[in-house]
Amino acid sequence: MTVTVMTGSASGMGAATRKRFERSGDKVIGIDIRDAEIIADLSTHEGRAHAISSVKQRCKALDRLVSCAGLATYARPVSLIASVNYFGTVKLLDGLLELLEKGENPAAVVTLSNSAQWVPIDEEPYFQALLRHDEAEAVKILDEAPDAFMAAGMAYVGSKLALGRAVRQRAMTWGKAGVRLNGVAPGNTKTPMFQKILDDPNLRDGVPNMEIPLGQLNEPDEVASLIAFLCSPEASAIHGSIFYIDGGTDALIRPDRF
Ligand code: NAD
């Protein structure tokens, strides 16, 4: 039986992916702050360590790891966005690699965002702190920022861009370990996260009013379908790649970059 560990399994894309795997008869071990087999707060060192040790107690080998846990710009303190989206995700990837190495056709997928490259952020001290993997400094910069609204936008975009780089930087080590690692970069998707943004007048106005060439928002199950494909043996040559799933929005905004 295929064994999958998933973060963010309680809601949205994570819940949709979970359903998809379970329909195929897979065993899914969810990690979430609520409604999951393993309850863990991935914003904290203790929560991450608890998640990793709980997975190790439950299985000796892992076939798939899917990371969907994430927070958007509504999160306060703002630093939670960096701690969950980037530091928590990377810690789990690295902490569970040794189990994935023992799995069958092992693969991991992390959830990024199509917006990760729309804002120049490379030179920002916050982003540099992410690249140095300096969580204390990243947290300090975000929580001391004079404008929490602006800081939240930077926190989110930076967390996803740094996570995409983390995926690509691991191509050799993970490839040599026999474990494929890829990212999906969704556009706006009909999940509780997106609804929470739409329900808040301040945040709603901050959502880029982007045209979607295909004319509609993603359904969570459409993202789940891409994740499931990337995890499957049919994707055996795909590794270190980022897949946009946004109805063509990123292509519209950055037609010359891919
Ligand atoms: P969601 O809010 O529906 O689900 C996110 C899950 O993460 C929830 O189950 C939540 O409990 C869990 N989570 C949050 N904080 C946590 C913590 N500290 N520890 C453990 N678990 C925690 O969101 P979604 O829309 O399904 O988003 C899934 C992923 O896709 C996220 O990483 C998000 O950033 C990304 N994304 C979403 C959209 C969108 O429009 N919905 C677009 C681009 C990228």
The number of residues in the chain equals 258
Q: Pocket of ligand 1, candidates 35, 92, 193, 245: which has the most ligand atoms within 8 Å of its Cβ, to mutate?
A: 193
Would you say 163 and 86 are in contact if contact means Cβ atoms under 8 Å apart? yes
Look at residue 157 and tell me if it is in a domain: yes
Look at residue 230 and tell me if it is in a domain: yes
Residue 14 CA to ligand 1 center (angstroms) comes to 8
What stretch of H or E contains 61? none
Say how far apart CA 144 and CA 90 lie, in whole Å.
24
Full pLDDT tens readout for the chain, 258 residues: 999 999 999 999 999 999 999 999 999 999 999 999 999 999 999 999 999 999 999 999 999 999 999 999 999 999 999 999 999 999 999 999 999 999 999 999 999 999 999 999 999 999 999 999 999 999 999 999 999 999 999 999 999 999 999 999 999 999 999 999 999 999 999 999 999 999 998 888 767 677 899 999 999 999 999 999 999 999 999 999 999 999 999 999 999 998
Look at residue 101 and tell me if it is in a domain: yes
Would you say 33 and 70 are in contact if contact means Cβ atoms under 8 Å apart? no
**In this structure, which residue's CA is closest to atom 31 in ligand 1?**
70
Global pTM reads 0.97
Structure confidence at residue 208 (pLDDT): 67
158 three-class SS:
helix
Look at residue 258 and tell me if it is in a domain: no
What order do you get walking across the sheet with 64-67 strand by strand? 38-39, 27-32, 3-7, 64-67, 107-111, 180-186, 242-245
Look at residue 126 and tell me if it is in a domain: yes
Q: What is the CATH number of the domain that holds 34?
A: 3.40.50.720
Task: Kindly tell me the burial class for residue 130, based on how many C-beta atoms sit within 10 Å of its own C-beta (0-12, 13-18, 19 or more).
Answer: buried
Look at residue 8 and tell me if it is in a domain: yes
The tokens describing 28, both together, are 């899914």
Look at residue 56 and tell me if it is in a domain: yes
**How many domains does one find in the chain?**
1
Look at residue 23 and tell me if it is in a domain: yes
Longest C-alpha distance within the chain, in Å? Answer: 51
- The boundaries of the domain holding residue 20 are 3-253
Tell me if 84 CB under 6 Å of ligand 1: yes
**In this structure, which residue's CA is closest to atom 33 in ligand 1?**
70
